[in-house]
Amino acid sequence: MCPPFPLSNTAGLDSTVVELTDFICAAQMARAEDAHLPLEEKPRLNHAYKKRKLLEYELLKKKKLMRLGNKTIDEDDEAVHLPNPMVGFGIPSEPCLKTHRNLPEAALGPPYFYYENVALTPKGVWSTISRFLYDVQPEFVDSKYFCAAARKRGYVHNLPIENRFPLIPLPPHTIHEAFPLIRKWWPSWDTRTKLNCVLTSIASAKSTERIRKALEDYDSEPPLRVQKYVLDECRKWNLVWVGRNKVAPLEPDEVEMLLGFPKNHTRGISRTDRYKSLGNSFQIDTVAYHLSVLKDMFPNGINLLSLFSGIGGAEIALHRLGIRLKNVVSVEISAVNRNVVRSWWEQTNQRGNLYDLDDVQQLNGDRLEHYMTSFGGFDLVVGGSPCNNLTGSNRLHRDGLEGKESSLFYHYYRILDLVRSIKT
């Protein structure tokens, strides 16, 4: 695939050069796409695709040509600002701060789409994501309003936002509610009530041992300096108190519970894989709240295209909402994850069909059309592409949306655009 539009590259470059590059790039993308299509498909799709590319080009041009005197507009003007509190269009305890929003016409469903990624990204990432996804603004939500762990994410979707409802039972909202047994070991000077975002790896035994050593010299409260060191480590690694002076990382089944997955959902795969897959996954209660509006709209169930499915966060959210999964095409590169989803599918006695594919890069118009004609199109396209190059914790490869893995986002957009243009 050609490099995506270099929107964040404006500094120092003449805007006409940037525009030209963008235009060539758009044309190349359209052509590359054409190569994947069967002959008879080309005229119809071609038209929709080119129209879309042209629209994008126009938008880009408009943005680039915005000037303040002679100065190109500062990138900050394109930055998407994170709301505080990060509650999106409402949370179960404070539903519907807003009941209606005006979506751009090009974004209207069906099909509905729902795209997720980390909220805190390098500059320009969310505005690019949003621009590609029909100019829909992200809904930023921190899952700490849904469960006992924080998880700041942005969701770009075209779902209605009125009459959302939460999954019942509501999950525990504080650390102590979630883990009542460890309460007795929790020192009063550790005032955390929520855990931090669950990550893909855990603290080493060495670092928890260091904490134990730092504390064992004191019979009662340690001095503030030691408290600060311990608390910083606990926050960084999400450690909990499991004995006197003894902290430990969360167990994989505890992470499953915090994220709303069924108990033992990832059991059977290696511990490292469990942490990795769970660390990358959706928080089910949060996502289900957003998807809940589909229940009345699709009383007979839905056809789902799930891209970057991981361990099936979207599938589980829909299932727990009682939305029947008629046909699910799930695309996930990790065989370990695909097996987790397949075994969940079997255990929950689904009556629909699960088709699993491995690589989004190989999902072309031909294949999509085959599925779409066989069961009549997709109602929902869900995805959360890898965030490896976007997160603050990845200092080595934090190269933004154009990074090796994060640029897979463009496949979400490419596939969604195909789905929207293939008529069934």
Residue number, 195 or 287, with CB nearest to ligand SAH: 287
Task: Give the residue numbers annotated as catalytic, written as ranges.
Answer: 387
Residue number, 213 or 404, with CB nearest to ligand SAH: 404
Instruction: Tell me how far, at minimum, the Cβ of 382 lies from ligand SAH, in Å.
Output: 8
Instruction: Tell me how far, at minimum, the Cβ of 335 lies from ligand SAH, in Å.
Output: 10
Instruction: Tell me how far, at minimum, the Cβ of 163 lies from ligand SAH, in Å.
Output: 24
Residue number, 281 or 292, with CB nearest to ligand SAH: 281
Binding residues for ligand SAH, rule: CB under 6 A, are 280-282, 308-311, 313, 331-334, 337, 359-361, 384, 386, 408
Instruction: Tell me how far, at minimum, the Cβ of 64 lies from ligand SAH, in Å.
Output: 31
Residue number, 276 or 326, with CB nearest to ligand SAH: 276
Instruction: Tell me how far, at minimum, the Cβ of 199 lies from ligand SAH, in Å.
Output: 13
Per residue, the 3-state secondary structure of the chain, as one string, reads CCCCCCHHHCCCCCHHHHHHHHHHHHHHHHHHHHHCCCHHHHHHHHHHHHHHHHHHHHHHHHHHHCEECCEECCHHHHCCCCCCCCECCEECCEECCCCCCCCCHHHCCCCEEEEEEECCCCCCHHHHHHHHCCCCCCEEEEHHHCCCECCEEEEEECCCCCCCCCCCCCCCCCHHHHCHHHHHHCCCCCCCCCECCCCCCCCCHHHHHHHHHHHHCCCCCCCHHHHHHHHHHHHHHCCEEEECCEEECCCHHHHHHHHCCCCCCCECECHHHHHHHHHCCCCHHHHHHHHCCHHHHCCCCEEEEEECCCCCHHHHHHHHCCCCEEEEEEECCCHHHHHHHHHHHHHCCCCCEEEEECCHHHCCHHHHHHHHHHHCCCCEEEECCCCCCCCCCCCCCCCHHHCCCHHHHHHHHHHHHHHHHCCC
Residue number, 127 or 337, with CB nearest to ligand SAH: 337
Please state whether beta strands 71-72 and 67-68 pair in parallel, antiparallel, or not at all (unpaired).
Answer: antiparallel
Residue number, 134 or 282, with CB nearest to ligand SAH: 282
